């Protein structure tokens, strides 16, 4: 029973994905984060338009300049046309550079707001929601996914405006300049467009699939790295190499397939450019000669080629943007899921902001992580704890001890029945009020990077140094902290890896004590502390926090022996409640746990007696 | 005491300072999961050498295809300069005839010119089709070889390498560095080659027509290159900064996510958000600066190109007007037919510079990636001078050992050490599992001795338990027995043979290891058990699972032994994962075992099941137990109490209890073990 996984493996249905949500909804949700960068986002396309207009006009005027030179205009005429041209290039440059700046601001600002909104929203999540995303997936969503969306957004507000606009303007300019000759573009542009988009359409889904495989390949390397001691102990280096090589070759084949298709882009593009060149040279000379320069002159001849390049290049850009944007769609959806997720723990409309006392009542409580009654982790819990009482909780892994106490500070909401604190349903309280009154030392102890003092002050930001010291003393932490060279300013590494397990637990208890809570919950939080210290901590509680209700979950019966009452949990239900003596007498589960832990000391006692008798 | 509000700064400090080597003893918990990469300062001179080495490797991977690609690129680049000359000749013809308005007169001449051009284009198309496809093959093929070499080399590195490097840093070789290489090999290198040759050939055509105008263009292009360099290096610098800031943000989010429950029960959401805002803003600033330089570079180059274009047109016009004598290879005078192709060449030239500017960033990043990859590939691999091998054998009643084939009928599963001696003779020692350490000293780093004078004897079948606080040296001792690390002084003997003489792979094959952190691999449950002995049959794997008591839960899994495990067996409970790692060891059936007990608290019932599995495995084997709880060590033949790398007590449980020393205090709960 207890060997079964603690939390149910989430099925597909339960993890709600946004795959079915349409583009518009995703787009709308994401653009809500544009906010103060809206101006920059609107100005950018306008500036781009300015840039394009001047850029397209330049070849028109160069054609004139060339014709003027050809027809033997005087120097001042040439210089003035040249001056106009130079001015246009400078204006275009100014527009373009300005667009570059606003675009950078708009897109990185958007990304900043996205990250902020995601992080803030995550902070409001209830655990039911957090469990749905894994925490590592949330990290990638905030970093990688946002970066990709930022790239796509940048392209959208700049290049995606620039390219079609330029395409149209360049064509108009070419037509106004060269008449029917420009019609070559009407033929060649669709050809290129179709070819490029055909390639992209074929390649994008392939790439998507490959990237997934590629991730799997990297995970394989990571797994090997994590287990390198196992690999080396079993001399499996060659086996692992072989396995990795096989997977790598598969990824290589897929990648090569996709990139070979993608490589078609270059010859396709070249083919179109060449066609335009050949056509312009042949038909252009025909037009010049046959109309004696009426329809077309040498200057226009050259500019026509310039326009041709312009248009074809823009098509190329468009196809690239298309690919990029399509590829980032998945990123956008993953961001949307985070932004759209709502906490399942709602603040009540008219919240109670005062917790009367530390009494706790469970009335007919049922709870399921999935929210349905078929998979209940807790069933029919009725438990009434008086304010100031000391309650021990004992039970094997999977008996839902932690689940039970997590309902008290509303980390989860009950599926059935109700939990009351201080006589009021926990759902009536302002969340912060409730959680300030309930201090919980978790089974998964976490300290944060920062000094010891900073970590302890999580319990109370405004605690004086004396209060911090007192809490540490109560938790039996002061003694070892004083042995550190920097004492309370000792820096805790991320994850608290530079203190031992027992020390970490005691610091976490001190942190909780600083809250001066009405209810203190210890979820198996002295497992690595020696029995003597464990006893001292409990004595401290008794003497200094007599009014605080204490709920102590433990593996060791010695940690709960002196509790007022002990609750025995068994697979989601309360098996028995009573004092240590009562339970020892009547409860099989409790007795078994007690005996398995105390057999040794029993043996030892016998041993001691033996020695005594030998002395006699 | 420090104020509370600078914790964002602290996070920063922590992340950026995370490159220091860590102390091996507590490595398993310390590892950094985030795949972040902290940019290292580039060694200036190394870059050229890195490029040279990289290119050499590419040639060795594709000795025929790569030269072909280069040939194609060079020829297409040269061809790409030719259209200008066709244009010049066409225009010459046109200007000479246009007043006549007689197309028929020139149609033939122009027609044949255009046909030649078409011919050139066809060749050029074939070439570009060939080299782009070939390059796709070369890029991916080379990357695969890089990956394989990287992974292969990594397998052969000594454990100390993994202790000294963060997991995230090593992983970034596979992700960031390989990706940077992909960009560089696939895109930048061929494009730069193409651009370079194009520039040379266009330049040749230019001076063929006019040195003066070529000089104007070159001056303009030099200015463009200068701008590229200035802006490009700024943007590169800021992209590096951006990468770093992403790492910091990632670290913060990760920490908050891991401690989300604590954040919630302490209502610390606002403080976490404030910290995040500070870091997020820094990332924004870096990212904005990086993109600003990149974004403005494009329009600046493009319009500088336009300006040069205008200047060339003006200069051409002025030259024609004023009749300045031309200086050129062709000897042609200035004319409109010379000027117009020049204008197009200006576009081509400027466009190429734009190309280079795009590629330069990725070359810099690619080279940095290549350098980091080479760094790993150059790490010295685990050395092994051992020559004593483990061989299958038969042992007759008198104890004579005869080497035999493992597949032979009469092999009864016995092993022996084959020991060749200097005089050419061979001796065989039956594998028994007798391990002795004599006066062993050890230091991870010179001068920091962590084990002093450690002597331990374990006769075949005996159980020796190590007890002591974290950092006392328990794990270190076992790392010496399987030669993850080599001792400084003293000696270790396995069946009477100095372990330095034994081939490492054979030594490790004779030692089973169950580590406290269970690592399972993606694959089925059966695959994971078989990891212990690759040629084990399904029946043998199941027998091993039955022996250690894992059979029961495996059968209840959805697909039994074929259930797929992913993500380090995350769909199993801690106890189940431990049982699998014990079964994996059981199928290997080694005479000596090292058991590192799990520290994490599992409940009494599960613990009993796991303990039963361990006991089943230990029967008849020499076992070293690294104990984290005292309940499991009482039946050991010897308990060794360590403190700061020294043995302070040794004896059986009863002896040590009677002694009332450190062990007694630990046992009675007066001292903390962890």
Of A95-104, B188-197, B289-298, B404-413, the least confident: B404-413
Higher pLDDT, B8 or A389: A389
**pLDDT score, position B368:** 84
Q: Do residues B122 and B168 both lie within one domain? A: yes
| pLDDT score recorded for residue B126 | 93
| CB nearest to B269's CB, from A123, A241, A270 | A123
ipTM of the prediction greater than 0.95, yes or no: no
Supply the pLDDT for residue B42. 45
Tell me whether residues B313 and A235 touch, CB distance under 8 A. no
B67-104 pLDDT per residue, tens: 999 999 999 888 888 887 888 788 888 877 777 777 78
For B116-142, the pLDDT digits (tens) are 989 999 999 999 899 989 998 999 999
Which residues of chain A are within 8 Å of residue B117 when distances are taken between CB atoms? 277-278, 281
**In this complex, do A5 and B167 lie within 8 Å of one another by their Cβ atoms?**
no
Residue by residue, what is the 3-state secondary structure of A409-456? CCCCCCCEEEEEECCEEHHHECHHHHHHHEEEECCCCCCCCEEHHHHH
- Distance, CA of B667 to CA of B659 (rounded, Å): 12
Question: Above 90 in pLDDT, residue B199?
Answer: no
Q: Which residues contact A333 (CB under 8 A, 6 or more apart)?
A: A17, A18, A19, A21, A26
Cβ separation A248–B148 shorter than 8 A: yes
In a domain, B38, yes or no: no
pLDDT tens string A410-431: 888 888 888 888 888 888 888 8
Band (pLDDT 50/70/90 cuts) for residue B53 is very high
- Percent pLDDT > 90 in chain A is 8
CA distances to A437, B66, B140, B142, B629 from B56, rounded to whole Å, are 68, 11, 17, 12, 56
pLDDT (tens digit, 9 = 90+) per residue, A37-52?
A: 989 989 999 999 999 9
Residues B409 and B368 in one domain: no
Query: Do B55 and B181 belong to one domain?
Result: yes
Residues B87 and B168 reside in one and the same domain: yes
B167 part of a folded domain = yes
Query: Is residue B34's pLDDT more than 70?
Result: no
Q: What is the pLDDT of residues A467-496, one digit of tens each?
A: 888 888 888 888 788 878 878 888 877 666
* Interface touch B136/A263, C-beta < 8 Å: yes
Of B102, B259, B553, the CB nearest to A3: B553
Q: Which residue out of A8, A52, A56, A104 would a mutagenesis test of the B interface target, given it has the greatest number of B Cβ atoms within 10 Å? A: A104
Same-domain status, B374 and B398: no
Nearest to A227 among B98, B511, B521 (CB): B521
Q: A240 vs A132, A220, A356, B153, B534, CA distance in Å?
A: 33, 10, 62, 12, 12
Closest chain B C-alpha to A517 CA, distance in angstroms: 11
**Is there a single domain that holds both residue B444 and residue B528?**
yes
**Contacts A–B by Cβ distance under 8 A:** 490
* Beta-strand relationship, A416-421 and A424-425: antiparallel
B135 and B186 Cβ atoms separated by less than 8 Å = yes
Q: What is the mean pLDDT of residues B263-275?
A: 79
Mean pLDDT, range A496-506, rounded to an integer: 75
- Cβ atoms of B26 and B161 closer than 8 Å: no
User: Are the beta carbons of B636 and B614 closer than 8 angstroms?
Assistant: no
On whether both B617 and B486 belong to a single domain, the answer is yes
What is the CB-side half-sphere exposure of residue B514 using CA atoms within 13 A? 35
Asked if the Cβ–Cβ distance from B484 to A255 is below 8 Å, we say no
> In this structure, are residues A237 and A282 in contact, taking their beta carbons and an 8 Å threshold?
no
pLDDT of B626 above 50: yes
Lowest model confidence (mean pLDDT) among A81-85, A434-438, B600-604, B664-668: B600-604
More confident residue, A135 or B442: B442
pLDDT > 70? residue B319: yes
CB contact under 8 A, B262 and A435: no
- CATH, residue B110: 1.20.1560.10
Closest CB from B14, B171, B482 relative to A233? B482
Q: Is B262 in the A-facing interface, judged by CB distances under 8 Å?
A: yes
Cα-based distances in Å from B567 to A224, A227, B396, B518, B571: 11, 12, 48, 12, 8
User: What pLDDT score does A19 carry?
Assistant: 61
Which residue among A65, A289, A438 places its CB closest to the CB of B313?
A: A65
The answer to which of A523-532, B377-386, B610-619 has the lowest mean pLDDT is A523-532
CA-based nearest distance A381→chain B, Å: 22
Contacts of A494 in chain B (CB under 8 A): 11, 14, 32, 251, 255
Mean pLDDT of chain B: 80
**For residue B344, what are the domain limits?**
44-378
The alpha-helical segments, DSSP class H, found in B165-268 are 167-172, 178-183, 189-209, 211-258, 260-265
For B108-141, b/e burial (b = at least 16 CB within 10 A) is eebeebbeebeebbeebbebbbbbbbbbbbbbbb
Nearest residue of chain B to residue A433 (CA atoms):
B267
- B418 with B499, same domain: the answer is no
The structure tokens listed for A185 are 């573009």
A residues 474-533 closer than 8 Å to B (CB) = 488-489, 491, 493-495, 497, 500-502, 511, 515, 524, 527-533
Among the partner residues B102, B288, B604, nearest to A105 by beta-carbon distance: B288
Average pLDDT, chain A: 81
| CB-CB contact of A438 with A469 (8 Å) | no
**Backbone phi, psi, residue A409, to 5°:** -85, 20
Q: Would you state the pLDDT for residue B29?
A: 31
The confidence score (pLDDT) of residue B45 equals 57
Neighbours of B26 (CB within 10 A): 14
The residue with greater pLDDT, B37 or B159, is B159
Test B306 with A259 for CB contact under 8 angstroms: no
Closest by CA to B150, choosing from B124, B127, B177, is B177
Considering only alpha carbons, which residue of chain A is nearest residue B141? A252
The whole-angstrom separation of Cα A162 and Cα A46 is 10
Residues B75 and B190 occupy one common structural domain: yes
The A416-421 sheet, strands edge to edge: A378-385, A360-367, A416-421, A424-425
- CA–CA separation, A65 and A80 (whole Å): 9
Q: Does B421 touch chain A (CB under 8 A)?
A: no
Rounded CA-CA distance A184/A60 in Å is 18
pLDDT score recorded for residue A592 = 79
pLDDT, residue A110, reads: 93
Parallel, antiparallel, or unpaired for β B435-443 and B449-458? antiparallel
Q: A259 and chain B: CB distance < 8 Å anywhere?
A: yes
**Of the CATH numbers 3.90.180.10, 3.40.50.300, 3.30.365.10, 3.30.420.40, which one belongs to the domain with range A360-585?**
3.40.50.300
Question: Does pLDDT of B458 surpass 50?
Answer: yes
| The predicted structure's pLDDT at residue B130 | 92
pLDDT tens, position by position, A143-153: 888 888 898 89
Q: What is the DSSP annotation of A174-205?
A: HHHHHGGGGHHHHHHHHHHHHHHHHHHHHHHH
Q: Are B562 and B526 in contact (CB under 8 A)?
A: yes
Which chain A residues contact residue B340 at CB under 8 A?
Answer: 66, 298-299, 301-302
**pLDDT classification of B259: cutoffs 50, 70, 90:** confident
Instruction: Place B63 in a pLDDT band, splitting at 50, 70 and 90.
Output: very high
**Which domain CATH number covers B444?**
3.40.50.300
Asked if residues B167 and A225 have their Cβ atoms less than 8 Å apart, the reply is yes
Residues in chain B: 674
Q: A23-340 has which fold?
A: ABC transporter transmembrane region fold (1.20.1560)
Task: Report the number of distinct structural domains present in chain B.
Answer: 3
pTM above 0.90, yes or no: no
Look at residue B23 and tell me if it is in a domain: no
Which of B632 and A15 is assigned the larger pLDDT?
Answer: B632
B368 and B405 co-located in one domain: no
Predicted local distance difference test score (pLDDT) of residue B8: 37
Answer whether residue A601 shows pLDDT above 60: no
Which residues 537-596 on chain B approach chain A with CB closer than 8 angstroms? Answer: 552-553, 567-568, 571-573, 575-576, 579, 581, 584, 588
Question: Could you give the CA distance from residue B156 to residue A237 in angstroms, rounded to a whole number?
Answer: 7
pLDDT tens-digit map of A356-393: 888 888 888 888 876 666 667 788 888 888 888 888 88
Question: What pLDDT, in 10s, does the model give residues A157-167?
Answer: 988 888 999 99
pLDDT band at B17; cut points 50, 70, 90: very low
State residue A48's pLDDT score.
93
**Stretch B602-606: mean pLDDT:** 61
- Alpha-helix runs per DSSP H in B323-382: 336-378
pLDDT band at B271 (very low <50, low <70, confident <90, very high): confident
Rounded Cα distance, A229 and A603, in Å: 38
pLDDT surpasses 70 at B208: yes
Which of B141, B565, B605, B668 is the mutation pick for testing A, counting most A CBs within 10 A? Answer: B605
**In a shared domain, residues B230 and B291:** yes
d(CA B60, CA B187): 19
Contact (CB<8Å) A597/B521: no
Chain B contact set for A451 (CB, 8 A): 1-2, 10
Q: What is the pLDDT, as a whole number, of residue A374?
A: 66
Whether residue B519 is found in the same domain as residue B637: yes
- Sorted by sequence, the CB contacts under 8 Å of residue B2 that are 6+ apart come out as A451, A453, A454, A489
Q: Could you tell me the two tokens for B406? A: 């493992």
Cα–Cα distance between B640 and A615 in angstroms, integer? Answer: 28
How far apart (Å, rounded) are the C-alpha atoms in residues B534 and B515? Answer: 20
Q: What pLDDT digit, counting tens, does each position of B170-195 carry? A: 888 887 788 888 888 888 888 888 88
**Coil, strand, or helix at residue A594?**
helix
Enumerate the domain spans of chain A: 23-340, 360-585
């Amino acid at each position: 029973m207890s060997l079964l996984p603690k939390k149910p493996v989430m099925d597909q249905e339960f993890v709600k994905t946004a795959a079915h949500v349409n583009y518009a909804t995703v787009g709308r949700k994401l653009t809500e984060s544009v906010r103060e960068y809206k101006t920059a986002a609107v100005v950018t396309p306008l500036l781009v338009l300015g840039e394009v207009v001047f850029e397209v006009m330049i070849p028109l005027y160069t054609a004139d300049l060339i014709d003027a030179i050809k027809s033997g205009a005087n120097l001042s005429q040439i210089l003035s046309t040249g001056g106009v041209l130079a001015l246009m290039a400078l204006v275009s440059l100014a527009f373009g550079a300005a667009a570059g700046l606003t675009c950078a601001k708009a897109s990185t600002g958007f990304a900043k707001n996205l990250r902020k909104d995601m992080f803030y929203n995550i902070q409001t999540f209830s655990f039911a929601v957090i469990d749905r995303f894994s925490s590592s997936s949330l990290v990638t969503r905030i970093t990688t996914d946002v970066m990709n969306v930022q790239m796509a957004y940048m392209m959208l507000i700049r290049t995606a405006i620039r390219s079609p606009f330029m395409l149209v303007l360049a064509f108009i300019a070419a037509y106004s300049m060269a008449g029917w000759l420009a019609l070559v573009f009407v033929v060649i542009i669709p050809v290129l467009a179709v070819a490029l988009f055909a390639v992209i359409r074929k390649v994008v889904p392939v790439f998507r699939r490959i990237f997934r495989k590629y991730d799997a390949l990297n995970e394989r390397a990571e797994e090997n790295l994590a287990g390198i001691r196992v690999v080396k102990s079993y001399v499996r280096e060659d086996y692992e190499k072989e396995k990795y090589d096989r997977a790598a070759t598969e990824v290589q084949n897929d990648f090569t397939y996709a990139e070979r298709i993608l490589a078609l882009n270059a010859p396709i593009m070249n083919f179109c450019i060449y066609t335009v060149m050949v056509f312009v040279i042949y038909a252009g000379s025909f037009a010049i000669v046959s109309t004696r320069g009426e329809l077309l002159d040498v200057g226009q001849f050259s500019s026509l080629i310039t326009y041709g390049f312009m248009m074809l290049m823009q098509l190329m850009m468009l196809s690239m943007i298309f690919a990029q944007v399509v590829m980032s769609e998945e990123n956008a959806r993953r961001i949307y899921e985070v932004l759209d997720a709502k906490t399942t723990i709602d603040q009540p409309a008219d919240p109670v902001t005062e917790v009367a006392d530390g009494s706790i009542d469970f009335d007919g409580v049922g709870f399921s992580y999935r929210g349905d009654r078929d998979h209940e982790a807790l069933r029919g819990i009725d438990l009434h704890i008086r304010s100031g009482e000391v309650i021990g909780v004992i039970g094997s892994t999977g008996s839902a001890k932690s689940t039970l106490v997590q309902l008290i500070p509303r980390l989860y909401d009950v599926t059935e029945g109700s939990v009351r604190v201080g006589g009021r349903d926990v759902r009536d309280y302002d969340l912060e009020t409730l959680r300030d009154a309930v201090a919980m030392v978790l089974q998964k102890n976490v300290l944060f990077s920062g000094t010891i003092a900073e970590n302890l002050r999580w319990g109370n930001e405004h605690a004086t140094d004396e209060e911090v010291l007192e809490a540490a003393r109560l938790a039996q932490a002061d003694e070892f902290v004083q042995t550190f060279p920097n004492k309370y300013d000792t820096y805790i590494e991320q994850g608290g890896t530079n203190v031992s397990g027992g020390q970490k637990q005691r610091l976490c208890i001190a942190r909780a004590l600083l809250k001066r809570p009405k209810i203190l919950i210890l979820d198996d939080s002295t497992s690595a502390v020696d029995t003597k210290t464990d006893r001292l901590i409990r004595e401290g509680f008794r003497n200094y926090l007599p009014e605080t209700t204490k709920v102590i979950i433990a593996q060791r019966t010695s940690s709960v022996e002196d509790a007022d009452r002990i609750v025995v949990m068994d697979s989601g239900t309360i098996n028995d409640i009573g004092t240590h003596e009562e339970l020892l007498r009547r409860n099989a589960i409790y007795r078994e746990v007690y005996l398995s832990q105390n057999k040794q000391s029993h043996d030892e006692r016998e041993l001691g007696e033996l020695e005594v008798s030998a002395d006699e | 005491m420090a104020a509370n509000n600078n914790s964002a700064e602290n996070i920063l400090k922590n992340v950026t300072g995370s490159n220091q080597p860590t102390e091996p003893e507590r490595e398993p918990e310390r590892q950094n999961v985030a795949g972040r990469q902290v940019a290292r300062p580039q060694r200036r001179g190394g870059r050229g050498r890195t490029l040279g080495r990289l290119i050499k490797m590419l040639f060795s991977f594709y000795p025929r295809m790569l030269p072909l690609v280069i040939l194609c690129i060079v020829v297409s680049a040269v061809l790409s300069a030719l259209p200008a000359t066709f244009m010049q000749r066409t225009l010459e013809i046109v200007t000479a005839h246009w007043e006549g308005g007689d197309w028929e007169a020139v149609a033939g001449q122009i027609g044949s010119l255009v046909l030649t051009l078409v011919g050139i284009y066809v060749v050029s198309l074939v070439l570009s089709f060939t080299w782009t496809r070939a390059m796709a093959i070369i890029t991916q093929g080379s990357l695969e070889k890089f990956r394989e070499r990287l992974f292969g080399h990594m397998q052969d590195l000594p454990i100390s390498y993994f202790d000294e490097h963060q997991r995230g840093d090593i992983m970034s070789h596979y992700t960031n560095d390989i990706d940077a290489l992909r960009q560089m090999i696939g895109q930048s290198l061929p494009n730069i080659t193409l651009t370079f040759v194009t520039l040379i050939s266009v330049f040749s055509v230019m001076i063929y027509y006019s040195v003066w105008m070529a000089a104007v263009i070159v001056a303009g292009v030099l200015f463009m290159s200068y701008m590229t360099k200035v802006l490009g290096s700024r943007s590169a610098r800021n992209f590096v900064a951006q990468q770093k800031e992403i790492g910091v943000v990632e670290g913060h989010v990760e920490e908050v996510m891991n401690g989300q429950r604590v954040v919630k029960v302490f209502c610390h959401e606002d403080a976490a958000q404030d910290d995040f805002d500070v870091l997020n803003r820094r990332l924004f600033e870096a990212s904005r600066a990086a993109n600003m330089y990149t974004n403005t570079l494009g329009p600046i180059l493009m319009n500088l190109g336009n300006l040069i274009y205008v200047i060339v047109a003006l200069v051409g016009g002025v030259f024609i007007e004023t009749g300045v004598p031309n200086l050129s290879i062709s000897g042609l005078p200035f004319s409109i037919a010379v000027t117009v192709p020049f204008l197009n060449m200006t576009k081509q030239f400027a466009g190429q510079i734009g190309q280079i500017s795009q590629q330069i960033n990725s070359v810099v990043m690619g080279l940095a990636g290549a350098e980091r990859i080479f760094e790993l590939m150059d790490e010295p691999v685990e050395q092994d001078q051992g020559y004593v091998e483990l061989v299958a054998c038969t042992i007759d009643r008198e104890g004579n050992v005869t080497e035999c084939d493992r597949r032979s009928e009469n092999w009864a599963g016995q092993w022996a050490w084959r020991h060749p001696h200097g005089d050419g003779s061979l001796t065989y020692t039956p594998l028994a599992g007798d391990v002795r350490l004599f006066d062993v000293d050890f230091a991870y780093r010179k001068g920091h001795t962590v084990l002093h004078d450690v002597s331990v004897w374990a006769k075949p079948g005996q159980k020796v338990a190590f007890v002591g606080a974290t950092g006392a040296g328990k794990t270190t001792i076992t790392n010496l027995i399987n030669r993850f690390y080599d001792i400084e002084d003293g000696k270790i003997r396995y069946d009477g043979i100095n372990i330095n003489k034994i081939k490492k792979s054979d030594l490790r094959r004779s030692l089973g290891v169950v580590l406290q952190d269970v690592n399972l691999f993606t694959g089925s449950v059966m695959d994971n058990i078989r990891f212990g002995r690759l040629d084990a049959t399904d029946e043998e794997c199941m027998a091993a699972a039955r022996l250690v008591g894992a059979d029961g839960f495996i059968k209840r899994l959805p697909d039994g032994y074929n259930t797929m495990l992913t993500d380090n067996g995350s769909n199993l409970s801690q106890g189940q994962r431990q049982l699998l790692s014990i079964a994996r060891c059981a199928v290997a059936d080694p005479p000596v075992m090292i058991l590192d007990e799990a520290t994490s608290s599992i409940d009494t019932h599960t613990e009993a099941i796991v303990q039963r599995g361990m006991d089943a495995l230990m029967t008849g084997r020499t076992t070293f137990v690294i104990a984290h709880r005292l309940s499991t060590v009482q039946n050991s033949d010897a308990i060794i109490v360590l403190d700061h790398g020294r043995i302070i007590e040794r004896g059986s449980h009863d002896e040590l209890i009677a002694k009332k020393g450190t062990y007694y205090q630990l046992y009675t709960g007066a001292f903390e073990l962890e």
